[in-house]
Each structure stands twice: as structure tokens, then as C-alpha cells.
Chain A
């Protein structure tokens, strides 16, 4: 096993666990609204990015592939934030 690759995978796992606990804490604390939603979905984007780069090994593939998957990830995290914001903005 290349120590560097294994360390990178384990570091990504640690960050994923940390962000999941952060999301769970934010969601369970009763803190709601645009900022809470934004924080939780930003954590989901960051987690997805680490999975793509370190678990799915997209770090070493041509940039176009990374851009494609990151655009998908951005769409599925930003659009839910925007649609959740509509009823909140309406009051």
C-alpha cells in the first residue's frame, strides 16, 4: 500500500465523519433557516467533493471529468437550498 494514498483516504474519512457530526448537530439543535440550510448543504458539498477526489480517485483524471461531477454536486446542493429558501422568504 502506498502510504501517501492510504493516508489521504484516511484523512478524507476523518473529515467526512467530522462534517457528518457537524451537520447532525446543526440539524438536531433546532437551528433552522437559510444559514442553517446553507451550512448543512455546504457540508454535503464538501463531503461529496472529498468522496469524488479521494475515494473515487478523480484527483488524477482529466479536469473535464472532475468539473462534470462537481457541477452535478453543486446543482444537487444549491438547488435544494434555493427551493427551501422560497417558503422562508415568503414568510
Chain B
């Protein structure tokens, strides 16, 4: 086979190039890469602004509840664990068990939303909003943008639970793990480090 024919054959085998090496549909990884870059830039913006307005950020952070943030971290981690187990279970053909685990992952996603909304409500009751100061503008922007991804992630998990090929499960859970990964960095950045 001449080199040009070999290259064409290789391209037909791997139409997405290097993205074909990743688990799930490559288009999902295009989305994941876009999201991690976006969240990365938001994290860096938060970190640099914090260095400039250190007193303001310390005062703002003191009004957050790190325990609620920690509970939400445990909730998302456990949800991610169930989603990862669902892929393993589905790979042996146990569709019912996989759906049950995906249901558990989605239920914990809803728990995350409830806790986050309760946190926002407490802030609103204390008269704190998006325009209170720079800290809270970035707090609501970062956590609110992430919360939208949690909602989208639950919808994606529901979709792959209904259309439950192994490929679909790998694709849907990859997005969920990205949402989980972003929170694991956001939690210490916003709630813990002084």
C-alpha cells in the first residue's frame, strides 16, 4: 500500500484523530476541553482579583459556609462514583443495575442543586447579591455557571440512561465527571484558601 493510501485508510479509521483515543464520543471531548479552558480562565481571574483585593475577598469568604461547600463536594464525588460504576456494570450487560446507579447519580446531582439554592437563599436573606462587591460578583458568576452545568449534566445522564449503549454511557458520564472535576478545584479556591 502506498503512503497516501495508507494515510487515507488511517484517517477513515480515526476520523477524529487523537480525540478518537478518549473514552466516549469525541464531540463530547471537544466540549469538555472548551469547558476546562473556560473554567480555568475563570479560576485564574478569581485568583488574581483576590490577590489585588485581599481584604475584600477575606471578608467575603468569611460569609460563606465551608461545611455546606464540603457537603456538596462529598455529594458530587459520590455521584461521580455511581456514574463511573454504572459504566462498569453496563459493560457486563446489566442494564437495570446501570440505570439504577445512573438514577442515584442524578438524585445526588439534585441534592447538590438543593444545597446550592439554599446557600443562595441564605445570602439573599442577608442582603447579599451579585452586585454587593467584586467577591460576590465572582462568587455568583463561578458557582452559578457551574450550577448550570450540573443541571445540564443531569439532563445528559437522563438521556444516556434512556438510550443506554456503552458508548452513550461513557459519553454522558464523561461530562458529569468534568462537572465534578471543576467543583473539586472551585471549592477550595472559593471557600477554603485564605
Q: What is A's interface to B at a CB cutoff of 8 Å?
A: 1-2, 5-6, 9-10, 12-13, 16-17, 20-21, 23-24, 26-28, 32-33, 36-37, 40-41, 43-44, 47-48, 51-52, 54-58, 61-62, 64-65, 69, 72-73, 75-77, 79-81, 83-84, 86-87
Contact = CB atoms under 8 A, between A and B. Distances in A.
B115 interface: no
A8 B67 CA distance: 28
Given A9-B84, A62-B21, A73-B185, A79 B51 contact: no
Contacts of A55: 80-81, 83-84, 173, 177, 180
Contacts of A16: 77, 81, 184
A79 B41 CA distance: 11
A24 B185 contact: no
A44 B46 CA distance: 17
Q: In the complex, which range does the number of interface residues on chain B fall in?
A: 35 or more
Contact of B181 (A48, A61, A87): A48
Given A1-B88, A1-B92, A20-B73, A56 B193 contact: no
A63 to B, nearest CB: 11
A13 B78 contact: yes
Given A27-B66, A65-B21, A76-B44, A54 B84 contact: yes
A70 to B, nearest CB: 12
Interface in B43-65: 43-44, 46-48, 50-51, 54
A2 B46 CA distance: 42
A62 B37 CA distance: 20
Contacts of B44: 75-76, 79
A17 B184 CA distance: 11
A21 B173 CA distance: 24
Nearest to A56: B177
Contacts of B178: 56
Contacts of A47: 77, 184
Chain B CB within 10 A, most for which of A36, A64, A79: A79
B32 to A, nearest CB: 9
